[in-house]
């Protein structure tokens, strides 16, 4: 018989008044919180590189109607795989999360679910996501299966490296490769550059995010780029911003220029540079000692990534 404890009213870093807290059935709330359904920004950050990949491939090779399914399938898959990854992360970090103010209210450390229930929930989400994956091109299926190693390693990275954000970037931007392969049936330098540019972007936004926990992480011995950079973080973030814009610019040129008119290329590059402007806007407002500001700026990266999506979509329409 499963032991149940009272579920907290909300999770510390969830959106206030979110649908999980206000509308979801009581029995479902712990599982939805494991999947971060009350904090959708992570789903966006996993999904956006997928949309970069499929739209860039459509610009390079021409729009086909199965691209619409890839866009939708990636959306559903991002919800499921982000949920599975976060559930696995909570299972791996259950001895750490209880010692961090921001995470001790999560379902597992708070006692709302058991480790066994958490494991089964991660498996269930992964299985449904797999059924979506197998509708894609065989190369995309292989890439999707290969990404599981990155998902499995990431929760442990902060135990052995000061750069766990790199492992997060490797996992979260894999969709740029997968979605391009699903759309084009092959890979080239363009999606690789989009992928590496996305990793630089992840280093930017997740370092900002990690500054919320820097003090608690120091107490329990968890590593992060926020702790590594300390007061020098703005200088490092500026370097990640430049790397993001340069790599995404090169990837976009390789994808769009060969088969597009000049206006399409201008629109696609405007998406890249608009994203870079948004990152610069974040950097100008950053206060690494203000956790609320860090969280707000981190969440704003949904809009930064959507600017590039809009540029690639407009280039395709032209």
**Do the beta carbons of residue 46 and residue 82 sit within 8 Å?**
yes
DSSP 3-state assignment of 289?
coil
Structure confidence at residue 163 (pLDDT): 94
Angle at 181 between CA 203 and CA 250, to 5 degrees: 50
pLDDT at residue number 90: 87
Residue 281's alpha-carbon distances to 2, 185, 218, 243, 315, in angstroms, are: 49, 37, 29, 16, 24
42/98 Cα distance (integer angstroms): 21
Phi then psi dihedrals of residue 241, to 5 deg: -60, -50
Is domain 22-317 in CATH 1.10.357.140, yes or no? yes
Taking the C-alpha atoms of residue 205 and residue 294, their distance in angstroms, rounded to an integer, is 9
pLDDT, residue 265, reads 95
pLDDT score for 278: 98
Give residues with Cβ within 8 angstroms of 12, minimum separation 6: 101, 102, 103, 104, 105
Q: What is the pLDDT of residue 57?
A: 97
pLDDT score recorded for residue 101: 67
139 to each of 134, 144, 313, how far by Cα in Å? 10, 9, 24
Confidence at residue 13, expressed as pLDDT on a 0 to 100 scale: 65
C-alpha 187/C-alpha 170 separation (Å) is 17
Q: What pLDDT, in 10s, does the model give residues 228-285?
A: 999 999 999 999 999 999 999 999 999 998 876 899 999 999 999 999 999 999 999 9
Query: What does pLDDT average to in each consecutive run of 10 residues of the chain (318 residues)?
Result: 48 76 90 90 96 97 95 97 91 74 78 90 95 97 94 84 95 97 97 98 97 81 90 97 98 89 94 98 96 95 98 94
For 2-53, the DSSP string reads ----PPPSS-TTSPTT-HHHHTS-TTTHHHHHHTTTT-THHHHHHHHHHHHH
Please provide the DSSP assignment of 225-251 as one string. Answer: HHHHHGGGHHHHHHHHHHHHHHHHHHH
pLDDT at 297: 97
Q: Report the C-alpha gap between 302 and 205 in whole angstroms.
A: 10
In terms of Cα–Cα distance, which of 303, 280, 283 is closest to 293?
283
Q: Scanning the structure block, which residue is given the tokens 């989400």?
A: 125
Q: What is the pTM of this model?
A: 0.90
Q: What is the CA radius of gyration of the chain?
A: 19
Distance CA 217, CA 261 (A): 50
> According to the model, what pLDDT value does residue 156 have?
82
Count of positions (residues) in the chain: 318
CB-based contacts of 52: which residues, under 8 Å, 6+ apart? 176, 179, 194, 198, 305, 308, 309, 312
Beta carbons within 8 Å of 23's beta carbon, 6+ residues apart: none
In this prediction, residue 318 carries a pLDDT of: 85
DSSP H helices, the chain, are 19-22, 29-34, 41-61, 66-92, 94-97, 107-110, 115-133, 138-160, 164-172, 174-184, 189-210, 214-220, 225-229, 233-256, 262-285, 291-299, 301-317
- In the DSSP assignment, the letter for residue 286 is -
Residues 49, 199: Cα–Cα separation, whole Å: 10
């Amino acid at each position: 018989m499963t032991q149940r404890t009272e579920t907290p009213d909300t999770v510390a870093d969830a959106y206030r008044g979110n649908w999980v807290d206000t509308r979801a059935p009581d029995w479902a709330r712990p599982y939805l919180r494991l999947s971060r359904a009350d904090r959708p920004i992570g789903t966006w950050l996993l999904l956006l590189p997928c949309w970069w990949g499929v739209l860039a491939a459509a610009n390079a090779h021409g729009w086909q109607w199965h691209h619409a399914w890839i866009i939708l399938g990636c959306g559903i898959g991002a919800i499921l795989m982000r949920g599975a990854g976060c559930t696995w992360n909570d299972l791996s970090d259950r001895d750490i999360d209880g010692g961090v103010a921001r995470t001790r209210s999560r379902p597992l450390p708070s006692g709302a679910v058991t480790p066994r229930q958490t494991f089964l929930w991660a498996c269930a989400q992964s299985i449904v996501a797999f059924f979506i994956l197998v509708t894609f091109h065989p190369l995309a299926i292989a890439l999707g299966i290969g990404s599981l190693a990155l998902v499995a390693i990431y929760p442990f990275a902060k135990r052995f490296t000061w750069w766990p954000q790199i492992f997060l970037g490797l996992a979260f931007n894999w969709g740029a490769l997968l979605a391009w392969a699903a759309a084009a049936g092959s890979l080239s330098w363009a999606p690789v550059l989009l992928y590496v540019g996305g990793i630089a972007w992840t280093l930017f936004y997740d370092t900002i995010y990690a500054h919320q926990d820097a003090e608690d992480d120091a107490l329990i011995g968890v590593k992060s780029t926020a702790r590594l950079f300390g007061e020098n973080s703005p200088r490092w973030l500026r370097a990640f911003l430049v790397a993001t814009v340069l790599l995404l610019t090169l990837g976009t040129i390789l994808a769009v220029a060969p088969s597009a008119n000049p206006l399409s290329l201008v629109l696609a590059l405007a998406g890249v540079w608009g994203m870079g402007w948004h990152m610069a806007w974040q950097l100008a407002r950053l206060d690494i000692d203000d956790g609320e500001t860090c969280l707000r700026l981190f969440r704003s990266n949904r809009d930064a990534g959507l600017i590039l999506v809009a540029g690639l979509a407009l280039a395709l329409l032209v």
